[in-house]
Structure 1
Amino acid sequence: MRRLATPLTMTLLAGGAGPATPTTPLEAAGWHHAEWHGLTPARFRPLPEGGVAVEGRGEGSFVWRRVQGPAECLRWRWRVEAGPPPTDLTRASGDDRALAIAIGFAGWPARVSFWQRSQHAIAQAAAGSHPLPRSALLYVWGGTGREPPHFQSPHMAGLGMVRVLRPATTAHGRWFEEQVNLAADWRAAFGADPPPLQELVVGTDADDTRSRTEAQVEGFRFGPCR
């Protein structure tokens, strides 16, 4: 995955703020499409129930929207018709995936270093008026399935924790329902109680394997865990 040189500008959470007046179907649906430096963007379109579909071949980009509220549980459903083969998501090079759902939080981890704050500041300068989250959880459809249950994103200076929910070998053409406990995952990743939610991001990345990607995700619901 080729990205900018600074760790936090290599994440799913970079990009400029969307326009005040919607000009595309994605923006009318509340999503903003953003690109990674040096990558041809994938093609996103809105779906009912606040979802998105993505298509591409060897491409990568992401869409994001603002969210607010406490960290509770997040539910959604997703399916992949085509995606990259298994890649090692713990490495910064070659970590392609069909889909990644990222939740950005407004606060820092319980223990954050001066270096991490500095990397965040550099990324914020690149992002302009779009306030970047200070920590994130990422849930992925991709990878080998042999990654640790939770591991640091190799692109986020220790401010992003990854979970592989569906490895790349998961059956294509089927819907899968997901539920994740954001509060529990944030505590496990960063310690202390989680800060408020800030962003929901959906991304795809297939530039290293030059793979075809076709996937959908919809039905996002934040609420109490049950």
Structure 2
Amino acid sequence: MFRCLVAAALSLVSLPAFAAPVSFDGSWKTQKFSLFSSNTYGFNGNSVTVSSDGSVSLAYRALPQTYWDASSAKWSWSVQEGVPATDLRKKGGDDRNLALYFVFLPEGQAEALQGASVRKLLTNDAARVLVYVWGGAHDRGAVLGSPYLGDRGRTVVLRGSGTGSASETVNLTRDYANAFGGGAAALVGIAVSGDSDDTNSRIRASISGLQVN
């Protein structure tokens, strides 16, 4: 009986960590960057569609404290129409099909800023942002400085410009350490964006099955 209990305990230890879904529901809020230009987002529970016509904006949702220790993420995404290849390091010329922003804060700051707007978070000196991108004229795995976030943000290229469908798995802990030198940080929010205003082009795309663990 004792050996059976030990075996059962060991089997539980070897199980993969539980992956927590991030629902595309009514908790997402759109942040415009221009009074006259905004994308259209369709939130459908497990997925979000992104339509961008010479426009740019992002949709953001805060994550509850149970998600703050997340060390990895995965999702699927699809692009039916996309923008041409751009230089993602160039301010005012960095259009991309899709971007997923993972927003981190030191835990003390995270507690103090619960419920803050994404604009306030993205301008906070303590914030750090990993931006995973489908788009640009760069190789997969390229880590680029952000023309808007400065030292607070890094762009990680997962797919260059083009169309198609793909699934991604990213190691947030490793990528955070590579980008910012490590240190403890809480994953306080996620944003989705499409950006077609500089090239005056169109995006028709979607993201589904987003999970963190």
Task: Report the 3-state secondary structure (helix = DSSP H, G, I; strand = E; otherwise coil) of the residue aligned with 2:91.
Answer: coil
Determine if the alignment matches structure 1 residue 63 to structure 2 residue 52: no
Compute the TM-score of the two structures, normalised by the length of structure 1. Answer: 0.72
Where in structure 1 do 4 or more consecutive aligned residues deviate above 3 Å? Answer: none
Q: Distance in 1 between matches of 2:36 and 2:82?
A: 17
| Structure 1 equivalent of residue 5 of structure 2 | none
| Structure 1 equivalent of residue 130 of structure 2 | 137
Q: CA RMSD in A?
A: 2.4
The superposition leaves residues 61-108 of structure 1 with CA deviations (integer Å, 9 ceiling, x where unpaired) of 110111232131100000001111000001112100111000000139
Q: Give the unaligned 5+ runs of structure 1.
A: 1-25, 109-123
Q: Residue 104 and residue 53 in structure 1: after superposition, are their counterparts in 2 closer, same or farther (change >3 A)?
A: same
Q: Distance in 2 between matches of 1:147 and 1:219?
A: 21
Give the number of equivalent residue pairs: 176
Q: Residue 177 and residue 205 in structure 1: after superposition, are their counterparts in 2 closer, same or farther (change >3 A)?
A: same
Displacement of 1:27? 8.9
Displacement of 1:146? 4.5
Task: Report the 3-state secondary structure (helix = DSSP H, G, I; strand = E; otherwise coil) of the residue aligned with 1:30.
Answer: coil
Identity %: 31
Task: Report the 3-state secondary structure (helix = DSSP H, G, I; strand = E; otherwise coil) of the residue aligned with 2:150.
Answer: coil
Task: Report the 3-state secondary structure (helix = DSSP H, G, I; strand = E; otherwise coil) of the residue aligned with 2:177.
Answer: helix
What is the letter of the counterpart of residue 150 of structure 2?
A
Pick one of 158, 181, 184 that aligns with 2:174.
Answer: 184
**CA contact 2:51–2:203 (8 Å) conserved in 1:** yes
| Structure 1 equivalent of residue 81 of structure 2 | 82
The superposition leaves residues 167-204 of structure 1 with CA deviations (integer Å, 9 ceiling, x where unpaired) of 003xx2x3210000000000011113340101100011
**CA contact 1:147–1:164 (8 Å) conserved in 2:** yes
Q: Distance in 2 between matches of 1:220 and 1:143?
A: 22
Structure number with greater Rg is 2
What is the letter of the counterpart of residue 137 of structure 1?
L
Q: Distance in 1 between matches of 2:74 and 2:24?
A: 22
Q: Which one has a larger percent strand, Structure 1 or Structure 2?
A: 2
The superposition leaves residues 3-49 of structure 1 with CA deviations (integer Å, 9 ceiling, x where unpaired) of xxxxxxxxxxxxxxxxxxxxxxx995321111013550011111231
